[in-house]
């Protein structure tokens, strides 16, 4: 048994050169470490010029005693099947809601990226379920034992998606008892739909913090909803289809929640002469999103007070009258062609959020070259993704290549930049600044270079010691 380190070591296996592939090794002795997340790289970060050539596990895991999951987005959990295949047999700690959602996410990830063999998929999920340890928020949980170290973990609500958490790790070092490190995971924006806002921790020795929007500020929620309403009024004026590329978990549910609110408030009023708000069809074209909607419904006791009040009023934010779900692939293909021919007004929400595969691609191939339609981005588009290319070239009349076919972009491309499930610069700073006992060091991860540098400068201006992790 090796001696405890004086201070813990951080080895980052992702989300240091960009915003994907989150995987952070936290080592407290030569033969004891835990992983915080184990996510897939996406976009340019999987290309030859990016930060990872392959998504597999490229580091030693013999000393990894546990995996701790902050939340179930694929860029935080997508490498878990590879971790299991590499021989990891330790516990997988996550929040109670994440324990319900994680098998759904990884079932889809295995089918899309590894194999559709039902026996293999079932074997991976069975093994995962044996290793999952569901954890209640705000309760300390003992990690696998290490003599004299007393390692523990505690999950605190992060407000990013259902079940998302920031992580508090407490253990002894060679120099200090109760050394505490916090991993932010992805922190949510304040007043996000359905979820309580994150609260700052009391104290920490070190903080590892995301920086996705470390260089910008979001609109407040009231302004954001108004902008969504105004965007829809503009987009639907010519009776086209409005496409929302959105991840199946988190963003889809937020969009539905706020669309239901707009329709409820404006029921009976006209969008234009031929269309009322309560006649507008909302289509979720994603079997996975439908499963997540059902899981969100099952976990509604973990919604915030506002959402639970709507339920008491008899409203159903994720299953309202105008909402239709497309399950079968044949139905999906028929709908794409119907909307292409008819230009019937509708809102379509489909994955993936960065347009990297999924059903959204078929909509884009069919509708991008028609000025009657709109594509509205409400989430971060990583460099190298189709979504980023559309966002970049669409407004200047450019084109994109989809499945080897050149598609001219005539549809209107719109971005609701304030519509994010991530905290902005003010929220990230507040997370640290409002701690009663400030950390000795803040390590910045999970952001583009400009975002990380801007956030670091903001921390330093407040005399908070911050460094960009490498």
Q: Provide the whole-model pTM.
A: 0.89
Higher pLDDT, 143 or 189: 143
Instruction: Give the per-residue pLDDT at 418.
Output: 64
Q: What angle do CA 141, 142, 148 make, to 5 degrees?
A: 145
pLDDT digits (tens, 9 = 90+) for 180-217: 999 999 999 877 788 888 999 999 999 999 999 999 98
Q: Which residues pair with 377 in a beta bridge?
A: 415
Cα 459 from Cα 444, distance rounded (Å): 10
Query: Which residues, at least 6 apart from 422, have a Cβ–Cβ distance to it below 8 Å?
Result: 160, 186, 187, 188, 189, 210, 212, 213, 380
Average pLDDT over residues 39-57: 67
Distances (CA, A) of 221 to 14, 27, 69, 226, 388: 31, 39, 28, 9, 24
Q: What is the pLDDT of residue 55?
A: 56
Q: Which of 148-157, 252-261, 278-287 has the highest mean pLDDT?
A: 148-157
pLDDT at 49 over 60: no
pLDDT at 220: 76
d(CA 139, CA 43): 37
Instruction: Tell me the average pLDDT of the chain.
Output: 92
DSSP state of 203: B
Give the pLDDT band (50/70/90) at residue 70.
very high
Q: Give the angle subtended at the CA of 219 by the CAs of 424 and 376, to the nearest 5°.
A: 95
Res. 37 pLDDT band, cuts 50 70 90: very high
Give the model confidence (pLDDT) of 409-434 as tens digits.
999 999 886 667 789 999 999 999 99
Beta-ladder partners of 376? 414
Q: What is the pLDDT confidence band of residue 50, given thresholds at 50, 70 and 90?
A: very low
DSSP of 9-29, one letter per residue?
A: EEEESSSSSSSS---EEEEEE
Mean of pLDDT values over 59-82: 95
The tokens describing 185, both together, are 């995971």
In terms of Cβ atoms closer than 10 Å to its own Cβ (0-12, 13-18, 19+), residue 112 is middle
**Sheet-wide strand order for 179-183:** 140-142, 152-157, 165-171, 179-183, 206-209, 441-444, 466-468
At residue 1 the predicted structure's pLDDT band, cuts being 50, 70 and 90, is: low
What local confidence, expressed as pLDDT, does residue 48 receive? 45
Give the tokens for residue 33: 């470490």
CB burial of residue 223 (10 Å; 0-12, 13-18, 19+): exposed
Return the biggest CA–CA distance within the chain.
76
Average pLDDT over residues 367-386: 91
What is the chain's percent helix, strand, coil content, to nearest 5?
35, 25, 45
């Amino acid at each position: 048994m090796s001696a405890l380190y004086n201070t813990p070591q951080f080895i980052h296996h992702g989300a240091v050169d960009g915003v994907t592939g989150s995987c952070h090794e936290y080592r407290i002795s030569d033969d004891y470490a835990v992983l915080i997340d184990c996510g897939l790289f996406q976009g340019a970060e999987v290309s030859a010029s990016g930060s990872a050539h392959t998504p597999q596990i490229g580091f030693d895991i013999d000393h990894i005693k546990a995996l701790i999951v902050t939340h179930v987005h694929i860029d935080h959990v997508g490498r878990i099947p590879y971790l299991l295949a590499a021989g990891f047999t330790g516990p997988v700690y996550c929040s109670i809601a994440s324990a319900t959602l994680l098998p759904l996410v990884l079932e889809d990830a295995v089918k899309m990226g590894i194999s559709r063999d039902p026996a293999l998929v079932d074997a991976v999920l069975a093994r995962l379920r044996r290793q999952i340890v569901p954890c209640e928020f705000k309760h300390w949980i003992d990690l696998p034992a290490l003599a004299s170290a007393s390692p523990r973990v505690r999950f605190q609500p992060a407000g990013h998606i259902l079940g998302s958490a920031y992580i508090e790790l407490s253990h002894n070092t060679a120099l200090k008892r109760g050394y505490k490190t916090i991993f932010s995971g992805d922190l949510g924006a304040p007043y996000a739909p359905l979820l309580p806002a994150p609260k700052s921790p009391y104290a920490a020795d070190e903080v590892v913090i995301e920086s996705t929007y470390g260089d910008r500020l979001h609109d407040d929620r009231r302004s954001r909803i108004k902008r969504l309403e105004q965007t829809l009024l503009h987009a639907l004026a010519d009776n086209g289809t409005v496409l929302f590329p959105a991840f199946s978990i988190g963003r889809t549910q937020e969009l539905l929640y706020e669309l239901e609110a707009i329709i409820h408030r404006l029921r009976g009023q006209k969008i234009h002469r031929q269309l009322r708000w309560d006649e507008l069809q909302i289509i979720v074209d994603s079997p996975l999103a439908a499963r997540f909607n059902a899981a969100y419904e099952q976990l509604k006791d973990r919604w915030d007070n506002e959402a639970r009040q709507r339920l008491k009023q008899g409203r159903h934010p994720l299953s309202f009258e105008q909402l239709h779900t497309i399950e079968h692939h044949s139905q999906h293909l028929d709908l794409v062609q119907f909307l292409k021919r008819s230009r019937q007004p509708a809102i379509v929400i489909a994955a993936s959020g960065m347009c990297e595969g999924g059903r959204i691609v078929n909509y884009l191939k069919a509708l991008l070259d028609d000025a009657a339609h709109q594509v509205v981005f409400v989430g971060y588009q990583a460099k190298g993704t189709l979504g980023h290319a559309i966002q970049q070239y669409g407004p200047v009349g450019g084109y994109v290549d989809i499945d080897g076919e050149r598609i001219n972009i005539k549809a209107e491309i719109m971005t609701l930049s304030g519509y994010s499930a991530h905290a902005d610069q003010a929220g990230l700073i507040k997370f640290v600044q409002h701690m009663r006992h400030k950390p000795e060091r803040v390590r910045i991860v999970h952001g583009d270079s400009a975002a990380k540098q801007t956030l670091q400068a903001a921390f330093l201006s407040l005399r908070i010691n911050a460094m960009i992790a490498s």
